């Protein structure tokens, strides 16, 4: 019995790993199809592959059972992410084909507010999916991530990068975090009244 149980464990681990990749691959496929506006096998497979790469680079822990799905904030999160994805793709492509000075790249440290590994990893993954930014390091004890930014000037400098990252985290938390988590990070008040809006977080 012991040998059989030990033999089954690798298969269970593989199945659990595939289970964590599945949702991210599906989300990547949906976002990629929406980005290109063409439902084709090439776009579906490309988006799924991109989602798998993000999941492997930023493995997520199991979802917290206290997480709450809010459709309105989720739509705002998806809409803003798609608009950022399209705009950044255009800017990177334009910089690549336009002669002139090379954009100034740099590394920016951002301290996130959430202590949840799930939300930190998801924020990092969504940021890395947008062309021009890439999370290269994460320090869990301080909730600090380090981003490589392709064009610091266009991103508004280090302060602009930090504001954009914190605004992304705020949209993600409003879409999925429990009310207690929102209160803890200062995005809601204990009596149920919500904190600052996304615009107030950005500027």
Task: Supply the pLDDT for residue 13.
Answer: 55
Burial 159-182 (b: 16+ CB within 10 A, else e): ebbbbbbbbbbbbbbbbbbbeebb
Write out pLDDT tens, residues 42-65: 777 887 887 777 766 666 555 444
| CB neighbourhood size of 102 (10 A) | 7
pTM of the predicted protein model: 0.65
Write out pLDDT tens, residues 160-193: 999 999 999 999 999 988 888 899 988 887 764 4
Write out pLDDT tens, residues 59-80: 655 544 466 778 899 889 988 9
Task: Supply the pLDDT for residue 32.
Answer: 72
Classify 37 in phi/psi space as left (phi over 0), alpha (psi -120 to 50) or beta. Answer: left
Task: Supply the pLDDT for residue 195.
Answer: 45
Q: How many residues comprise the chain?
A: 203
Task: Supply the pLDDT for residue 66.
Answer: 60
* Res 4 pLDDT > 50: no
Q: Which pair of tokens denotes residue 101?
A: 């000075």
Greater pLDDT, 34 or 164: 164
Task: Supply the pLDDT for residue 158.
Answer: 93
Task: Supply the pLDDT for residue 111.
Answer: 94
Residue 197 pLDDT class (50, 70, 90 cuts): very low
Residues 6+ apart with CB under 8 A from 183: 189, 190
Write out pLDDT tens, residues 78-133: 889 888 988 888 888 877 777 776 778 899 999 999 988 888 888 988 888 888 89
Residues 6+ apart with CB under 8 A from 143: 111, 112, 113, 114, 115, 120
Residue 159 pLDDT class (50, 70, 90 cuts): very high
Give the start-to-end residue ranges of the domains of the chain: 1-57, 63-202
Task: Supply the pLDDT for residue 170.
Answer: 95
Classify 38 in phi/psi space as left (phi over 0), alpha (psi -120 to 50) or beta. Answer: beta
Please tell me the distance from the alpha carbon of residue 151 to that of residue 91, in angstroms, as a whole number.
10
Residue 7 pLDDT class (50, 70, 90 cuts): very low
């Amino acid at each position: 019995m012991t040998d059989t149980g030990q033999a089954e464990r690798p298969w269970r681990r593989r199945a659990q790993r595939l289970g964590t990749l599945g949702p991210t691959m599906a989300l990547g496929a949906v976002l990629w199809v929406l980005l290109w506006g063409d439902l084709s096998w090439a776009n579906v497979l490309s988006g799924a592959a991109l989602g798998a790469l993000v999941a492997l680079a930023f493995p997520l822990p199991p979802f917290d059972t206290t997480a709450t799905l809010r459709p309105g904030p989720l739509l705002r999160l998806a809409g803003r992410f798609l608009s950022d994805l399209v705009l950044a793709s255009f800017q990177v492509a334009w910089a690549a084909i336009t002669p002139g000075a090379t954009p100034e790249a740099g590394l920016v440290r951002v301290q996130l507010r959430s202590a949840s590994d799930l939300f930190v990893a998801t924020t990092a993954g969504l940021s890395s999916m947008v062309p021009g930014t890439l999370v290269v390091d994460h320090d869990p004890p301080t909730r600090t991530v380090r981003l490589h930014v392709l064009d610091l000037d266009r991103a508004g400098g280090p302060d602009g990068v930090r504001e954009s990252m914190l605004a992304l985290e705020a949209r993600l938390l409003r879409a999925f975090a429990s009310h207690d988590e929102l209160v803890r990070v200062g995005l809601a008040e204990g009596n149920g009244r919500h904190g600052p809006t996304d615009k107030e977080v950005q500027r």
